[in-house]
Structures are given as structure tokens and as C-alpha cells.
Amino acid sequence: MGAEESKKKETSLLGSAEALEVIEAARESKWERPSFALQLFHGRVAPSLIFPYAVQSEEDRRAGDAFLAELESFLKRNVDADAIDRTGEIPPEVIKGLARLGCFGMKIPKEYGGLGFSQVNYNRAISLIGSHCGSTAVWLSAHQSIGVPQPLKMFGTEEQKRKYLPRFANGAVSAFALTEPDVGSDPAKMSTTATPIDGGASYLINGEKLWCTNGPVAEVIVVMAQTPERAIGGKTRKQITAFIVERSMPGVSLVHRCDFMGLKGIQNGLLKFSDVKVPKENILWGPGRGLKLALMTLNTGRLTLPAGSIGGSKRCLQIAREWSLERKQWGGPIGQHEAVAAKLGWMAAHLFAMEGVTWLASAWADRGDLDIRIEAAMAKLFCTEAAWAIVDHTLQIRGGRGYETADSLKARGEAPLPVERMFRDARINLIIEGTSEIMRLFLAREALDPHIQRAFAVLLPKYSLPQRVKAAIKAGLFYAGWYPQQWIPALPIGAPAEIPPRLRRHWFFVRAQSRRLARTLFHQMMIYQQRLEKQQMVLFRIVDIGVDLFAMSAAISRASMLEREGESAGAPGSASSGRSQSAVELADLFCIYARGRVLRALCHPSSPEDRPAYQVAQNLLKGRYTWLESGICK
Ligand SMILES: Cc1cc2nc3c(=O)[nH]c(=O)nc-3n(C[C@H](O)[C@H](O)[C@H](O)COP(=O)(O)OP(=O)(O)OC[C@H]3O[C@@H](n4cnc5c(N)ncnc54)[C@H](O)[C@@H]3O)c2cc1C
């Protein structure tokens, strides 16, 4: 086999070399505790990782409650979300007011003038803002979930922190510039360059960054750019470096403010960098570490999207509930008709699970000893997709009024419920900070990784024959023990004591199906071998099973916690006792939905339509069906 062919075989096993580097870059150090969700793909369900449900401390909750009360009153008094949508501007006094409240420094440590919030309190704030105005939530989130404060906090030098963090806490807006016109999901291929000058004392940045949220108004932007390649371990490596760039630096210009179907109030633009001179002191974390920095920033940064999705979904549920009672058609409230009731049930159960997943992952992010990349990616994927279904159901339940703008409803004397705006605002969440497809690819790669390390080394032509024989013996011994274990029935005994009786069967289901998932993943590897990486339809079904099993576990754990809280609060019929009982009902219904999806996918990891669908798509791309497009007016 020639070198070229060997290389091709190796990279087709594992994904392209650059794609692999991107995934490796997102990894952090060795964690003290493994990922609960990742283990689900390998037949392991670790109750000690998920019980009891992780919650914030009382002290942390109190600090958050006080802030949220102030924030809510500010939003009600000052933020007119429909006016922002109509005018495309968040008024400067709103921005100043939010800065005065401390919203620009929620995640900045107190010693640098910020509020020093935990991830949970920060996400609670974003959820509240997201329930009221999507544009305001995204403005603040782009500033501190991914904008300069976050990577600066994680990777900046003390000097950089002292210089910039107090400025941000006081209201200086920041942005994150990774995407370019030719690179979106695949940032490793970026073309913006940073060329060293003056013997490396400074760099000249040249290139364009697209869709930079806050870009048009930011004072400071973190910009990822290519610095000269370096030889590492005998190989020439592409270097991506992160720079703190002041918007006032000569050469930074706004080419265009972008306008979208929703989030009309955000300031988002195409930025151009022409010979922008940046001192080397503005490099974050060191040369060549920019891609890792960007991906590690996104690891936790993307938890804000599920939080915002929760806020929007709560508002939708409220609107749908009230309208389903108020609107009477065909002899009764529409909520009593089964088709509408089914939507309401789905919405409530999935919202409960969204909260289960998000608050758990947020609390784990605060602990700092857990690998939460997998849970954060699952939370992003699950919550943004569920939130999109929830806003869609809400629009359908509102009927024609769901499609009508709030302004138009108001003008003819009806309640200006903003479902039309919320629908437009929600769609982007499935695209930004990792599209749903990229989240699934990332999760698939992580799920496959232990097998790739173990089994596929046997096939890699880069190893010598004796090395491959040794790897084959090692892998054979491992799988001889591991594979039969995945067939041992998970007996319905030994559930954690705190799980309410009604939810125990679901916990046993998670345990049993996790083993079946492990077997299925292994079988697909055996069937497709090197080609598995390309079988996205199969891989994505496998990922979705893992996501549902994680969401079930989180929902069960949260309902168990809420039931205990209700029990200890005493008084039957009290608010907390009512909540604890209904939490169990919601978790139960969510688990019933998820079980159906999991079983369907496990029965058919590959589906009869997969190959014909791919073939038709390729034929379509070749122009075979252009006749289908006739009769349109372009
Ligand atoms: C409102 C808004 C705000 C944004 N804010 C920022 C910001 O602040 N900073 C920033 O840097 N960027 C920002 N972005 C960019 C955003 O992160 C990108 O849009 C996103 O990463 C996807 O890139 P793309 O749009 O170029 O899609 P592409 O990468 O071109 O993908 C197009 C489609 O192909 C799919 N796809 C791509 N590759 C694969 C694959 N290998 N397998 C299967 N499917 C695949 C994608 O999932 C998608 O459906 C913003 C975008 C918008 C619209």
C-alpha cells in the first residue's frame, strides 16, 4: 500500500486529519470524574454521578434570586421586546441600564469588578432575559458566554485580566470572531492571517469575519487568525492564534451590518481587518492555541443556549396553556381536543427534561472537576431542538393569531402575544455555537473514540505488522470480556433509593438500553468499519439514543430531588408538595416519549430509506430532477 493510500485509509477511519485536530483541540486535561453521558454509549450507567441531582448552594441561590428580582423588574419596565424587533435597535438607555445592573459582568469575578456569578446563576439570568427578549439575551450572551471575558477569564494572564475585565464589567461590549465567509462549521480552515512584524513584537491581522454578534458595537473583540505554520514532532502544523483586538485599532472596519429573520435587535456584522497592528501582549494563551481556546470557550459557552431556550419555552407554555383554556371551538376549550392536548403534554414533559439537563450540566460546570463537554453539547442539541418544536406547537395552538405579529394583534384590540417574533427568534439556536449536525458529529466521534483507540489501531497501516498484531491481541482480550457483558440482562433491582416508585422502571430502562446501545454501536462498527464515519444517518440515530437516555436520567434525578424537597416541606397540598408530585408526572411522561424514540432507533439503527435517500440526493445534485423545479417564478 502506498503512503498516499495509507494516509487515506487512516483518515477515513477517523475523519479528516484537520477535523480530528479540531476534536482533539476541544478536549481538556484529564478529568477527575468521567462524563456520565459518554459512558451511556458504552453500557455503563453510573448512578453516583447523577444522584443526588446537583443543585446550587443555598447561598448561591439567594444571591441569584435577589439579582433576578431586580433584573425582572428592569426588563418589565424598560425592555419593550416588540419595539426592539420593530426598530432593529436595543435603545442605548437599555444597554446602559443593563450595564448598571451588572449584566455585562455577570460571569466576571468580583475581584475584577464583576458579579462573580456561578454558571447556574448566569444561566438563570439568561433564561429570564430569553423569556422576555431574545435579542437582549443574545447580545449579553455573545458578550460574556463567548466574547472576550470568557476566554480571558479562562486563559488570560493576570495583566490582561486586570487591564480588560473591569472595563467589560462596566459595560464595554465584546465579541467573538471565528466564522468567516468561507468557513463556518469547519473553523480550522480559516483564512484570516496574523503575520508577525517587528521581530515578533507585533502582528498584522488581515481577513474578514462574518456574522460577528456585537461586532458593530464592540469595543474589544477576540479574533482567531492563522499565524505562521510551525514544525512540531517533525510535522508542519497549522497555527491558529487568538488575539484581543480593540475595535479602535486602525484597520478594523464594519463592512455590513447583517439583518436576520429574527433577533432583529442584535448588532451583528461582517468585519474587515486590514493590516491591523496588534501587539504580541494581546495574544491570548499563547501562539497556536487559538482553536483550542475557541473550542474550549464554546464547551461551556454553549450552555447559555439551552438556558435561553428554557426561558422562551416557559413563555410559550404559558401562552399555549392560557389560550387552550380561553379559546373555545367545536363545543369546548381547544385544550380538551386530543390533538391540542397531545401538544400541550409534549411541551410540558419536554420542558421539564430541558430543565433537568440544563441545570444539571450548569451545576456540573460550576464544580469544575467534571468533563461536561458531552453534557453541554447534548444540552445544546436537545434543548434547542425541543424549544423549536415547542414554539412551533405554540404557534399552531394559537392558530392564525400565532402567525400574526404582536403589533397587529394589538392594533385590532387583542392581547399582543409575541409568538410570531419568538418563532423567528428561536430558529437560529439550532445553528449558532455548533449546528445540530455538528453537535451530533462531535458526540458521535466522542462515543466512538474508545473503540477507535482500541480496535481500529489494529487496522491502521501506519503501524508495523508486529505492532498491529500486539494491538489485535490486546483488543481481542478486551472485547472478549467487554462484549458478553453487554448481553447480561440489567436486572430491575438496585435502583437508587431516592427514585420515586413510578420512575423506577424508567431508570431500569436506561440501564438496560445503555447496554443495548453499546452493542449496537459495536455492531455498526463491525458492519461498516472504516465507512462508519460517513454513515451519518446511522451515527446520528445512535447519538440521539444517547441524548434521550441522558435526558431521561436527568429528568428522573431532578424529579427525585423535587419529590424529596416536597416531602421535607411537609404539608400535603402545599406548593412544594404539589410541585413534587407533578414533577414525577412530567418526568414519567417525558420518559415514555423518550423510550418510544429509543426503542425505534435501536430496532432500526440503519433504516431502509437511508441508501435510496442518499442516492436520490446525489442524483439531485447532479441535476437529474431539475424538472421537479419547473413552474416556479424566480
Ligand atoms: C445570528 C448569527 C449570529 C452568529 N454569531 C456568531 C459570532 O458571534 N461569532 C462567530 O464566530 N460566528 C457567529 N455566527 C456564525 C455561526 O456560528 C455559523 O453560522 C455556524 O457555525 C454554522 O456555520 P455556517 O453558517 O457557515 O454553516 P456551514 O458550516 O456552511 O454548514 C451549512 C450546513 O451544512 C451542515 N454541515 C456542515 N458540515 C457538515 C458535516 N461535516 N456533516 C453534516 N452536516 C454538515 C451544517 O450543519 C449546516 O446545516 C453567527 C451566525 C448567525 C446567523
pLDDT of residue 575: 61
CA-CA distance, 4 to 246, in Å (whole number)?
Answer: 44
DSSP labels, 403-471: HS-HHHHHHTTS----HHHHHHHHGGGGTTTS-HHHHHHHHHHHHHHHHHHHTGGGT-TTS-HHHHHHH
Upper half-sphere CA count for residue 93 (Cβ side, 13 Å): 6
The answer to whether 337 and 330 have CB atoms below 8 angstroms apart is yes
CA-CA distance, 273 to 252, in Å (whole number)?
Answer: 5
What is the H or E stretch that residue 239 is in? strand 235-246
CA-CA distance, 239 to 229, in Å (whole number)?
Answer: 5
Q: Could you give the dihedral angle defined by the CA atoms of residues 618, 622, 624 and 625, in that order, rounded to the nearest 10 degrees?
A: 70
pLDDT of residue 561: 96
Q: How far is the CA of 493 from the centre of ligand 1 (A)?
A: 45
Residue 183 Cα: closest atom of ligand 1: 26
For residue 371, count other CB atoms closer than 10 A to its CB.
22
Residue 177 Cα: closest atom of ligand 1: 11
Q: How far is the CA of 119 from the centre of ligand 1 (A)?
A: 25
Binding site membership of 432 for ligand 1 (Cβ less than 6 Å): yes
DSSP labels, 525-541: HHHHGGGGGG-HHHHHH
| Cell, residue 226 | 492563522
Name the residue with the closest Cα to ligand 1, atom 2. 211
| Cell, residue 484 | 458478553
Where do the domains of the chain lie, and which CATH numbers do they carry?
3-51+439-603 (no CATH), 58-169 (1.10.540.10), 174-292 (2.40.110.10), 300-365+378-426 (1.20.140.10)
Q: How far is the CA of 185 from the centre of ligand 1 (A)?
A: 5
Catalytic residue set:
433
CA-CA distance, 363 to 365, in Å (whole number)?
Answer: 5
- Please write down the HEC assignment for all residues of 241-269: EEEEEECCCCCEEEEEECCCCCCCCCCEE
pLDDT of residue 452: 84
Residue 185 Cα: closest atom of ligand 1: 29
Binding site membership of 268 for ligand 1 (Cβ less than 6 Å): yes
Terminal C-alpha separation, the chain: 51
Binding site membership of 101 for ligand 1 (Cβ less than 6 Å): no
| Cell, residue 101 | 445592573
Q: Are strands 220-232 and 174-177 parallel, antiparallel or unpaired?
A: parallel
No. of helices (H) and no. of strands (E), the chain: 24, 10
Q: Which of 468, 497, 523 is nearest to 48 (CA)?
A: 497
Binding site membership of 23 for ligand 1 (Cβ less than 6 Å): no
Residue 258 Cα: closest atom of ligand 1: 1
Q: How far is the CA of 484 from the centre of ligand 1 (A)?
A: 41
The answer to whether 344 and 320 have CB atoms below 8 angstroms apart is yes
* 3-state helix vs strand vs coil in the chain, percent to 5: 65, 10, 25
Ligand 1 pocket mutation pick from 245, 385, 435 by most atoms within 8 angstroms of CB: 435
CA-CA distance, 347 to 386, in Å (whole number)?
Answer: 8
Buried b (16+ CB within 10 A) or exposed e, 12-25: ebbbeeebbbbbeb
Largest CA distance in the chain: 81
Strand partners, 284: 242
CA-CA distance, 244 to 160, in Å (whole number)?
Answer: 9
Binding site membership of 183 for ligand 1 (Cβ less than 6 Å): no
CA-CA distance, 26 to 35, in Å (whole number)?
Answer: 15
- Identify the segments of the chain with pLDDT beneath 70: 1-32, 456-457, 459-461, 568-577
Q: How far is the CA of 179 from the centre of ligand 1 (A)?
A: 8
The answer to whether 35 and 542 have CB atoms below 8 angstroms apart is no
Binding site membership of 258 for ligand 1 (Cβ less than 6 Å): no
Q: How far is the CA of 522 from the centre of ligand 1 (A)?
A: 31
Centroid of chain to Cα 349? 20
CA-CA distance, 350 to 314, in Å (whole number)?
Answer: 11
Query: Cβ neighbours of residue 71 under 8 Å, at least 6 residues apart?
Result: 101, 103, 125, 128, 129
Binding site membership of 540 for ligand 1 (Cβ less than 6 Å): no
| Cell, residue 312 | 422562551
Binding site membership of 438 for ligand 1 (Cβ less than 6 Å): yes
The answer to whether 114 and 188 have CB atoms below 8 angstroms apart is no
Binding site membership of 189 for ligand 1 (Cβ less than 6 Å): no
CA-CA distance, 221 to 219, in Å (whole number)?
Answer: 7
Is the entire prediction scored with pTM above 0.75?
A: yes
